[in-house]
Chain A
Amino acid sequence: MQIELTVNGAPRSDDVEPRLLLVHYLRQRCGLRAANVGCDTTSCGACTVLVNGRSVKSCTMLAVQAAGQEITTAEGLAAGGEMHPVQQAFRQEHGLQCGFCTPGMVMAAAGLLAENPHPTEAEVREGLEGNFCRCTGYHNIVRAVLAAAESMSA
């Protein structure tokens, strides 16, 4: 069926099968490969994108459910080639190792900061409860989100 939606600020219209998952639509049809398929069971958060500004796991949403909605992926955060403060902070604080979880972490963090611009460390940790990092633990990721909060409010 035909869906019309906005992806990273650009309107799109695509003919999709109803069973197509949003993450597969973004990766295969839109060529946006930042959102990763990790666990594929709504647990790991590697596929996190923003739907109307709110973080969502795109492995557990149908593309047809996204009709009429605004989707933002990590590619859309860096629109114009300038990295988003959350992306800059992840680089600055070395908030990644292998990088697989990073796009999901960045999107979850961007969603969190949109809802709560000045989170405490505990709120950051709870806010990233839906995102798994299997490399290093979470210290630098949390540090990066706190640094991003600071730079965004400066």
Chain B
Amino acid sequence: MIPAPFEYEAAESAAHALDLLARHGEDAKLMAGGHSLLPMMKLRLAVPAVVIDIGRVGELAGIRADGDDLVIGATTCHADVAASALVQSQTPLLAYAAAQVGDPQIRHRGTIGGSLAHADPAADLPMALVALGGVVEISGPGGTRTVGADDFFAGFFETSLEPDELLTAVRVPRCPGPDWGYQKFVRRANDWAIVGVAAAGHRIALANMGPVPVRARAAERALAEGASVADAAGLAAEGTDPAEDIHADRAYRQHLARVLTRRALEHQTG
């Protein structure tokens, strides 16, 4: 499969990428690792007239601590997030989530910013960001802004990014210690979650239980009011309306959400 022809621009800096976006408008797509966009271009589901490559913009990659937060550059690949001693010690949920994406080759190319901007509701990093209560940092022609995880995902494969904006970094609170869990139910190696659950303290995020990663708010409230893990997990599917597909119908997905939430709250990974 060959993508449709496009014009290629290699950005030399974040500012250059913004200039290129401003010049080409909605005809352009940003590409870093290309592991979400390129498959869509090969299937001709995406046919951008211009591809702006930000994969070699050094200032957009890297991991650093900033006060109580970790800041991860948008083009940092999953393998580097997963292997980072800083991420592993300060926000182990994020390191674990990054290590669950695809397979080793995919993790060498796919990036945290790309995964979030792609906004697949079944993907690992959107769910992790919601569970951690992280924010994304965005640059545009009017300056910079930050958007919280709960507001960033606007719909099925849709975010609050404007066409002339660039996701530059991801900011997550430090969340060390063992009070987290991560569950990903898949049928095959290398696959997306049929249902996923990430729990960080009393925050619970569900993957593939709606068009965007969603919080299990009824379960969170129950925990805050002192309910047992089992009782709270029993409320994990409240208010969800998951899609049905060949793998699972609505009732089965809701069942999985309850079971996997209990396991995540018991700090299990899998």
Do A and B come from the same complex?
Answer: yes
Task: Report the bound CA distance from A55 to B79 in whole Å.
Answer: 11
Interface size class of B (residues with CB under 8 A): 20 to 34
Which of A19, A45, A48, A111 neighbours the largest number of chain B CB atoms within 10 Å of its CB? A19
Contact B105 A45 (CB under 8 A): yes
A68 to chain B, nearest CB (A): 7
With A and B bound together, what is the CA distance between A57 and B2 in angstroms? 15
Interface range on chain A: under 10, 10 to 19, 20 to 34, or 35 or more? 20 to 34
Of B3-11, B86-94, B231-239, B245-253, the stretch lying at the interface with chain A is: B3-11
B10 touching A67, Cβ below 8 Å: yes
List CB contacts (< 8 Å) of B4-62 with chain A: 4-8, 10, 31, 34-35, 38-39, 41-42, 51, 53, 55-56
| B108 lies within 8 A of A54 (CB) | yes
Tell me the A47-65 residues at the B interface (CB within 8 Å): 48, 51, 54-57, 60-62, 64-65
Evaluate whether A19 and B109 lie within 8 angstroms (CB atoms) in the complex, with A41-B39, A62-B34 already known: no
Contact A1–B108 (Cβ < 8 Å): no
A55 adjacent to B108 (CB under 8 Å): yes
Q: Is the CB of A130 within 8 A of B103?
A: yes
Report how far A48 CA is from B108 CA in the complex, Å: 12
> Are B104 and A55 in contact (CB-based, < 8 A)?
yes
Whether A130 pairs with B190 at a CB distance below 8 angstroms is yes
Q: Does B148 contact A (CB under 8 A)?
A: no
Contact across chains for A60 and B109 when beta carbons are under 8 A apart: yes
A67 to B10, CA, bound (A): 10
Question: A42-B39, A60-B34 are contacts. A108–B104 as well, Cβ < 8 Å?
Answer: yes
Q: Which of B219-250 contact A (CB under 8 A)?
A: none
In the assembled complex, B147 has its CB within 8 A of some CB on chain A: no
Within 8 Å of chain B (Cβ to Cβ): is A43?
Answer: yes
Partner of B8, one of A1, A127, A129: A1
Please state if A57 and B106 are interface contacts (CB–CB under 8 Å). Answer: yes
Say whether A150 faces chain B, with CB atoms less than 8 Å apart: no
Q: Are B10 and A18 in contact (CB under 8 A)?
A: no
A71 within 8 A of partner (CB): no
Q: In the complex, which residue of chain B has the Cβ closest to the Cβ of A49?
A: B105
The minimal Cβ–Cβ distance linking A134 to chain B, given in whole angstroms, is 14
B109: nearest residue on chain A (CB-CB)? Answer: A56
- Please pick, from B3, B104, B105, B190, the residue contacting A19 in the complex, using a CB distance under 8 A: B3
Closest CB in chain B relative to A130 CB, distance in Å = 3
Q: How far is the CB of A126 from chain B (nearest CB, A)?
A: 8
Output the nearest chain A residue to B103 by Cβ-Cβ distance. Answer: A130
Other-chain residue from B1, B7, B106, B189 in contact with A18 (beta carbon distance below 8 A): B7
> Known pairs A19-B5, A61-B34, A65-B31. 20 more at Cβ < 8 A?
A1-B8, A18-B7, A18-B51, A19-B4, A21-B2, A41-B39, A41-B42, A42-B35, A43-B190, A45-B105, A48-B105, A51-B108, A54-B108, A55-B105, A60-B34, A64-B8, A65-B34, A111-B105, A111-B108, A130-B103
A-B contact pairs, 11 of them (CB 8 A): A41-B39, A43-B190, A54-B108, A60-B35, A61-B109, A65-B55, A108-B104, A111-B104, A111-B108, A129-B103, A129-B104
